[in-house]
Structure 1
Amino acid sequence: MKFIRIILGKIILLLNFVFSPRGVKRSEEAQKQADEKASTMQLYQFEACPFCVKVRREMKRQSVNIALKDAKNDNIAREELLAGGGRVKVPCLKITENGKETWMYESSDIVTYLQKEFA
Structure 2
Amino acid sequence: MKFVRWLLGRLILLFNFIFSPKGLKRSDQDQQAVDEKAKTLALYQFEACPFCVKVRRAMKRQSVNIELRDAKASSQYRKELELGGGRVKVPCLRIEIDGKVKWMYESSDIVAYLEKEFA
Query: Does the TM-score normalized on the shorter chain lie above 0.5?
Result: yes
User: Helix, strand or coil for the counterpart of 1:34?
Assistant: helix
CA distance in 2: counterparts of 1:68 and 1:36, whole angstroms: 16
Percent of residue pairs bearing the same amino acid type? 69
Mapping 1:23-42, distance limit 5 Å: 23-42=23-42
1:90: which partner in 2? 90
CA distance in 1: counterparts of 2:38 and 2:57, whole angstroms: 15
Q: Compute the displacement of 1:2 (Å).
A: 0.9
2:111: which partner in 1? 111
CA RMSD of aligned residues (A): 0.3
Q: Compute the displacement of 1:57 (Å).
A: 0.2
CA distance in 2: counterparts of 1:70 and 1:91, whole angstroms: 10
User: Helix, strand or coil for the counterpart of 1:48?
Assistant: coil
Task: Specify every segment of 5 or more residues in structure 2 that has no aligned partner in the other structure, as ranges.
Answer: none
* 1:48-98 CA-partner distances (Å, limit 9, x unpaired): 000000000000000010000000010000000000000000000000000
Give the residue type in structure 1 aligned to 2:65: N
1:60: which partner in 2? 60
Task: Specify every segment of 5 or more residues in structure 1 that has no aligned partner in the other structure, as ranges.
Answer: none
CA distance in 2: counterparts of 1:28 and 1:18, whole angstroms: 27
Q: Compute the displacement of 1:114 (Å).
A: 0.1
2:70: which partner in 1? 70
Q: Compute the displacement of 1:25 (Å).
A: 0.3
Matched, 1:16 2:45: no
Q: Compute the displacement of 1:111 (Å).
A: 0.1
CA distance in 2: counterparts of 1:35 and 1:117, whole angstroms: 12
Q: Compute the displacement of 1:100 (Å).
A: 0.2
Task: List 4+ stretches of structure 1 deviating above 4 A.
Answer: none
